[in-house]
Amino acid sequence: MLASLFGRLNWDSIILVKEFEDPDLQLLITSGAAAAIPLGGIFLVLLLWYLKWWKPLLGWLTSVDHKKIGVMYIIFSVVMLFRGVVEAVLMRTNQAVALNGGFLSSDHFNQLFTTHGTNMIFFVAMPFLIGLINVAVPLQIGARDVAFPKLNSISLGLTGAGGFLITISLLIGQFSTGGWTNYPSYTGKLVNPGPGVDYWITAIGLSGIGSTLTGVNFAVTIYKMRTKGMKFMRMPLFTWTALATSILLIFAMPPLTAACVMLGLDRYLDFHFFTNDQGGNLMNFINLFWMFGHPEVYILILPAFGVMSELSSTFAAKRLYGYTSIVAATMCIAVLAFFVWLHHFFTMGQSTTVNAAFGIATLLISIPTGVKIFDWLATLWGGRIRLNTTPVIYLCGFLVLFVLGGFSGIILANPTLDYQVHNSLFLVAHFHNVIIPGTLFGILAGIHYWFPKMFGFRLMESYGKVTAWLWSIGFVITFMPLYPLGLMGMTRRTVDYTDPAYVPLMLVSGAGSLLLGLAFLFLIITFWRSIVNRKQLVTPIGDPWDGRTLEWWTPCPVPEYNFAVLPEVDSRDAFHTAKERGDAYAPIEKYEDIKIPSNTYFGLIIGILGCGLGFGLVWYMWWMAAGSFLAALATIIVYAFLPEREQVIPAEEVRRVDENWRREARETYGVTRDDEITEANKGLARPDVVPG
Amino acid sequence: MLDSYLQLAVAETFLQPTGPIARAQLDHLNYVVILTCIAIVPALVALPLILFRYRRKKAGDRYRPNWDSNLGLEVAMWGLPIVVIFLMAISLWSITQRLDPYEELGKDPLEIKVIGLDWKWVFLYPEEKVAFVDELIVPVGRPVELEMTSDTVMQSLRISALVGQIYAMPAMTTKLNFIASDAGEARGMNTQFTGRGMWRQKFLVHSVPTDEYQQRIAEARQSPITLNEQTYAILAQQGTAEEAKTPLGITVLEGPLETQGTATVVAERDVPVGQGIAMRLPEPKIFQRVLARYKTGVPMTPETQPGSPSYDPAKASLPPLTAVRMEM
């Protein structure tokens, strides 16, 4: 009876119980983290109860407003980033003292690098970027919402379900130890029968479906929802990169989902897709995984390129140099992304011709990427660069460090050299070198840049700049030593080592990781201090950076319907053109009723049922898995038959809000860029007087 | 004294190559680095200059807010990376073809079969009828061909100072050809994560003159331990080579490394800590039978699959070659 109710879940699966029965230091670290989940949960419930925030919270969770969904993605990612950073600091400090054995057990370390990778890619970097895309893209193309608002909420729900599964694995059972790539046959049923791999499969499977749907949603949004006059070649660069990423998501996520399902069939139903015996072949998993995995790299980097394009032009107060080149380069990269996956396993033993072909294909990607770097430099050339702003620090850190990451990438693209540095710390240094200064800097700079659009006030520049410097310096100190260590032969995923020659560089790297931990702390302090001082930081008129694209043509925070009247576009930097003409805030004659979709429980229900499905599968609680699956199916059918519910905002209400905003903009004096980071900045840009 | 010096003198990386392939790889690395610098140094130098020249306070009449294209610059921006990548692609193509790990490096290569286990390597010398665990002995100047498989999860065998790495995968074989030009010791290891003992899965490659090679092989033929089905099943258990010594009946001499050379050898089976295991190999088809294990049409079970937590050497027999039911 109990077995059919709880499957293979028993009392001892809960980490805290293990620690209670058999205390030891190793487990203490894990169980400390595990204890944080129930304690944090209880704290959160009490806090919400005390602040009476239940109702507003539910309002957010059921919202289909793209800006709120974007904000929820970003908050989710910050929480997951906390775990990722703590894991990173644990691993690097362990390795700093790991000559002949550090303080972590091998099993713990193996779980750490697995959850760190899985978490950072799928539950930090991707939701961060999807969050930014959600916030900015509909505004940039002059739309009221995304094409499928409910689907957007479902995507968020499924991402949340994946995040729930990887988080609950800390408390109940354990996560996979197979690395974020989770190669069989190590992750097959024979070698790893425990629940860890099943957590990986369900978490990645569910969030992968969510990401595919996001790709569909934004591709359609960008194709179909652009405002009048917003031709493709007038779209802001961030929208272009979001389009490229959406296309990549649509084509790259299915192989991953397929690989997850196939590995699941191997494990649950004795199939032989990737087993050693019966004609199974583990290399098929590896091929499928990297058919997703390589485009994934560009899913992560292209939106960051988009952010950097916006920043370089805005903060140099200048048109983007080589718009057409950058668009062409972006789409080149998106296409080439699908032709290089094999470079992740040059060492499989295939023919040299295959290796050389994929090596050259990989080299080709560095051409459009190099062009982009030159284009950003040319954008800064001839501008008036505001060096005292946070986004510019991220931009410069990105330009210098990303180039170095590309450099090591070119080395790795050579199959003969990959034979040497594959699976070594050189590789670890390389991908952190592109993902941290590339993706993470892009994300953090993007959050800083669009923060007023989300919340109505700026982030404090003083803390922002310290944070940006800490991330940059912390990155350099942590990851640059890993290049020589990799060349010296040290492999990745090793809990300890016996070669004393590694010690000095390992110590440096460990110290650097503490700086990265501090950088995360300062990021939180930046948020906290800015929230406390939000009254001084408000930018109600909505254009704090002298922006050039449509999203700045709205008040801050942005009303639910985005634009009172959808703007018409006649040039690339439409808002900038309007400001130059002087009629950006001119009164509008005619307002109409605006229909916006009502809140729905659809996404929330699917998310919760996704948690049930995943948890049931992991622990063999078949009633829970089947029940959740059927209930999800029923929910989809029921919602398909429910009539669309819309909320109408009357024209008079829209007129009142919009006319107030326009009047305030006309009557306010505004600030030049000299006072941009002072309290005087209320979000109205005054034309600059250029000294002669 | 000399022994301890040699211990430290193990060539760990391709930055200290002891064979022509690793040397060519090092040369290629230098070429790639120099060529790439042509494209990236201008960018790295330009950035601080641009930031300084066009900083807001001083940009003045240099400010050109509407400047957004220039044909000559555009040609240079696309041209420079295209030229650099074109040159690199040519060298990439030729060196990749030249350093083919499957290409024999001369006539009559020494053929060695390699089985990757958790967490040790078994090197079979079928012609010499000997085998070594975690020790690879090759004659200087003679081409060597490793043919590899794994009898657990996927592994990757890397000998940095000689050649680099290639995966060893269950039910499949791969090849790695190299040649040692200098006498000495090089480090070999598994670089693919395979569980908790993975970072102990290292071995020494001894590149020795031909007469010493003959002598080592002759000594190994005298080894009291035979590699057969039973001893293989013991080796296939999870654990390092060191941990396999006791079940194989080998007494490990304790004590600090430098005194081991002079320690009294108590019995023929006694070996110092860290030294590989030499074995006789009367039946040279073990490698083929390991491959056959996965092709009999009978599914593997947790008891018969090496690497599984419930692996049981008593139940995991290697099938005869006649049991193969599927394409090899």
Same domain, B210 and B94: no
pTM, entire model: 0.94
Give chain A positions within 8 Å (CB) of B196: 106-107, 110, 495
Q: Residue B38: closest CA among chain A residues belongs to which residue?
A: A407
Residue whose entry in the numeric block shows the structure tokens 């010690």? A503
As a whole number of angstroms, the distance between CA A146 and CA A69 comes to 11
Residue whose entry in the numeric block shows the structure tokens 């909320």? A647
Taking the Cβ of residue A246 and every Cβ of chain B, the question of whether any pair is shorter than 8 Å is answered with no
Taking the Cβ of residue A416 and every Cβ of chain B, the question of whether any pair is shorter than 8 Å is answered with yes
Q: What is the CATH number of domain A53-538?
A: 1.20.210.10
Nearest 10 degrees: Cα torsion A154, A84, A26, A493: 110
The pLDDT of residue B7 is above 60: no
The residue ranges of DSSP E strands in A140-245, in sequence order, are: none
Contact B28 A691 (CB under 8 A): no
Label the pairing between strands B184-190 and B202-208.
antiparallel
The pLDDT mean for chain B works out to 88
Looking at chain A, the number of H-run helices and the number of E-run strands are 25, 2
Nearest CA distance, A313 vs chain B (angstrom):
9
Q: Residue A325: closest CA among chain B residues belongs to which residue?
A: B74
Domain-terminating residue out of B78, B98, B118: B98
The answer to whether residues A104 and A495 touch, using CB atoms and an 8 Å cutoff, is yes
Residue B59 pLDDT grade (very low, low, confident, very high; cuts 50, 70, 90) = low
As a whole number of angstroms, the distance between CA A647 and CA A561 comes to 11
Give chain A positions within 8 Å (CB) of B187: 489
Taking the Cβ of residue B297 and every Cβ of chain A, the question of whether any pair is shorter than 8 Å is answered with yes
Chain center to CA of A26: 31
Nearest CA distance, B31 vs chain A (angstrom):
10
**Residue from A110, A185, A276 whose CB has the most chain B CBs within 10 Å, to mutate:** A276
Give chain B positions within 8 Å (CB) of A419: 25, 99, 101, 158, 163-166
As a whole number of angstroms, the distance between CA A425 and CA A287 comes to 22
- Polymer length in residues for chain B: 328
Minimum mean pLDDT range among A137-146, A581-590, B254-263, B302-311: B254-263
Longest dimension (CA), chain A: 86
Kindly give the interhelix angle for A196-224 and A237-269, rounded to the nearest 10 degrees.
Answer: 150
> Percentage of residues in chain B with pLDDT exceeding 70?
90
Residue A36 pLDDT grade (very low, low, confident, very high; cuts 50, 70, 90) = confident
Give just the sign of the alpha carbon dihedral A247, A394, B41, A506: negative
Q: Residue A688: closest CA among chain B residues belongs to which residue?
A: B56
Closest CA to A311 of A203, A253, A238: A238
Q: DSSP per residue over B157-221, as a string?
A: EEETTTTEEEEE-BT--EEEEE---S-EEEEEEE-S--STTGGG-EEEEEEE-HHHHHHHHHHHH
**A90, A295, B255, B313 from A174: Cα distances, Å:** 17, 29, 39, 28
| Residue B272, pLDDT score | 58
Contact B64 A406 (CB under 8 A): no
pLDDT in tens, A64-73: 999 999 999 9
Taking the Cβ of residue A99 and every Cβ of chain B, the question of whether any pair is shorter than 8 Å is answered with no
Give chain B positions within 8 Å (CB) of A389: none
**Is B3 contained in some domain?**
no
**Is B15 contained in some domain?**
no
Closest CA to A563 of A644, A649, A666, A646: A649
Nearest 10 degrees: Cα torsion A43, A48, A49, A55: -150
| Residue B254, pLDDT score | 61
Nearest to B96 among A359, A403, A673 (CB): A359
**Would you state the structure tokens that stand for residue A605, as one six-digit string?**
């229900």
**Would you state the structure tokens that stand for residue B143, as one six-digit string?**
């081409």
Contact A347 B156 (CB under 8 A): yes
Residue A238 pLDDT grade (very low, low, confident, very high; cuts 50, 70, 90) = very high
DSSP A389: S
**Residue from A191, A237, A379, A388 whose CB has the most chain B CBs within 10 Å, to mutate:** A191
As a whole number of angstroms, the distance between CA A655 and CA A591 comes to 6
- Strand (E) or helix (H) holding B84: helix B71-98
The pLDDT of residue B328 is above 60: no
Taking the Cβ of residue B47 and every Cβ of chain A, the question of whether any pair is shorter than 8 Å is answered with yes
Chain center to CA of A426: 24
| Residue A107, pLDDT score | 87
Contact A277 B171 (CB under 8 A): yes
Mean pLDDT, rounded, for B232-243: 92
- Supply φ then ψ for residue A565, to 5 degrees: -130, 130
**Is B52 contained in some domain?**
yes
Closest CA to A319 of A238, A239, A236: A236
Q: DSSP per residue over A283-299, as a string?
A: HHHHHHHHHHHHHHHHH
Nearest to B54 among A272, A281, A381 (CB): A381
The pLDDT mean for chain A works out to 93
**Is B198 contained in some domain?**
yes
**Would you state the structure tokens that stand for residue A261, as one six-digit string?**
């399902």
| Residue B96, pLDDT score | 96
Bridge partner list, B122: B115, B133
pLDDT in tens, A332-363: 999 999 999 999 999 999 999 999 999 999 99
Give chain A positions within 8 Å (CB) of B50: 377, 380-381, 385
Please list, in sequence order, all residues whose beta carbon lies within 8 angstroms of the beta carbon of residue A285, skipping any fewer than 6 positions away. Answer: A183, A184, A259, A262, A263, A273, A274
As a whole number of angstroms, the distance between CA A26 and CA A191 comes to 24
The pLDDT of residue A174 is above 50: yes
Mean pLDDT, rounded, for B232-253: 88
- Polymer length in residues for chain A: 692
Neighbouring C-alpha atoms within 13 Å toward the C-beta of B175: 18
**Is B11 contained in some domain?**
no
Residue whose entry in the numeric block shows the structure tokens 């925070």? A557
Nearest CA distance, B77 vs chain A (angstrom):
6
Taking the Cβ of residue A106 and every Cβ of chain B, the question of whether any pair is shorter than 8 Å is answered with yes
Burial grade of A99 (CB within 10 A; 0-12, 13-18, 19 or more): middle
Closest CA to A584 of A516, A474, A684: A684
Residue B114, domain CATH:
2.60.40.420
Same domain, B90 and B223: no
| Residue B253, pLDDT score | 66
Predicted complex ipTM: 0.93
Bridge partner list, A671: A685
**Residue from B193, B295, B308, B324 whose CB has the most chain A CBs within 10 Å, to mutate:** B193
pLDDT in tens, A457-475: 999 999 999 999 999 999 9
Residue B263 pLDDT grade (very low, low, confident, very high; cuts 50, 70, 90) = very low
Residue B291 pLDDT grade (very low, low, confident, very high; cuts 50, 70, 90) = very high
Nearest to B97 among A352, A385, A495 (CB): A352
**Residue type for position A398:** F
As a whole number of angstroms, the distance between CA A88 and CA A81 comes to 10
**Is B229 contained in some domain?**
yes
Nearest to B56 among A282, A366, A387 (CB): A387
Q: DSSP per residue over A266-322, as a string?
A: HHHH---SS-SSTT--HHHHHHHHHHHHHHHHHHHHHHHHHHHHHHHHHHTTSPPTT
Same domain, B68 and B88: yes
Mean pLDDT, rounded, for A81-106: 91
The pLDDT of residue A19 is above 90: no
- Supply φ then ψ for residue A594, to 5 degrees: -115, 130
Q: How many CB pairs under 8 A join A and B?
A: 284
The pLDDT of residue B2 is above 50: no
Give chain A positions within 8 Å (CB) of B96: 352, 355-356, 359, 414-416
As a whole number of angstroms, the distance between CA B173 and CA B292 comes to 12
Please list, in sequence order, all residues whose beta carbon lies within 8 angstroms of the beta carbon of residue A422, skipping any fewer than 6 positions away. Answer: A346, A347, B156, B165, B191
Taking the Cβ of residue B9 and every Cβ of chain A, the question of whether any pair is shorter than 8 Å is answered with no
| Residue A25, pLDDT score | 65
pLDDT in tens, B108-138: 999 999 999 999 999 999 999 999 999 999 9
> How many structural domains are present in chain B?
2
| Residue B264, pLDDT score | 39
Give chain B positions within 8 Å (CB) of A345: 167
DSSP A647: E
Same domain, B316 and B265: yes
**Is B13 contained in some domain?**
no
The pLDDT of residue A75 is above 70: yes
Contact B51 A492 (CB under 8 A): no
Domain-terminating residue out of B98, B130, B163: B98
Taking the Cβ of residue B256 and every Cβ of chain A, the question of whether any pair is shorter than 8 Å is answered with no
Same domain, B297 and B192: yes
| Residue A604, pLDDT score | 96
Mean pLDDT, rounded, for A142-170: 95
Domain-terminating residue out of B98, B128, B151: B98
**Is B116 contained in some domain?**
yes
Bridge partner list, B114: B123, B148
Segments forming the whole domain that contains residue B232: 110-321
**Would you state the structure tokens that stand for residue B152, as one six-digit string?**
């657990």
- Supply φ then ψ for residue A416, to 5 degrees: -65, -35
Please list, in sequence order, all residues whose beta carbon lies within 8 angstroms of the beta carbon of residue A531, skipping any fewer than 6 positions away. Answer: none
The answer to whether residues B174 and B168 touch, using CB atoms and an 8 Å cutoff, is yes
Nearest to B47 among A183, A323, A399 (CB): A399
Minimum mean pLDDT range among A638-652, B74-88, B237-251, B257-271: B257-271
| Residue A180, pLDDT score | 94
pLDDT in tens, A270-312: 999 999 999 999 999 999 999 999 999 999 999 999 999 999 9
Same domain, B267 and B302: yes
**A19, A679, B18, B169 from A183: Cα distances, Å:** 30, 53, 33, 12
pLDDT in tens, A357-416: 999 999 999 999 999 999 999 999 999 999 999 999 999 999 999 999 999 999 999 999
Within the 174-233 window of chain B, which residues sit less than 8 Å (CB to CB) from chain A? Answer: 174-175, 187, 189, 191-196, 198-199
Taking the Cβ of residue A686 and every Cβ of chain B, the question of whether any pair is shorter than 8 Å is answered with no
Residue A529 three-state SS = helix
**Would you state the structure tokens that stand for residue A244, as one six-digit string?**
């490229």
Domains of chain A by residue range: 1-52, 53-538, 558-600+645-687
Minimum mean pLDDT range among A4-18, A107-121, A640-654: A4-18
Q: Residue B77: closest CA among chain A residues belongs to which residue?
A: A371
Taking the Cβ of residue B309 and every Cβ of chain A, the question of whether any pair is shorter than 8 Å is answered with yes
The answer to whether residues B154 and B12 touch, using CB atoms and an 8 Å cutoff, is no
Residue B326 pLDDT grade (very low, low, confident, very high; cuts 50, 70, 90) = confident
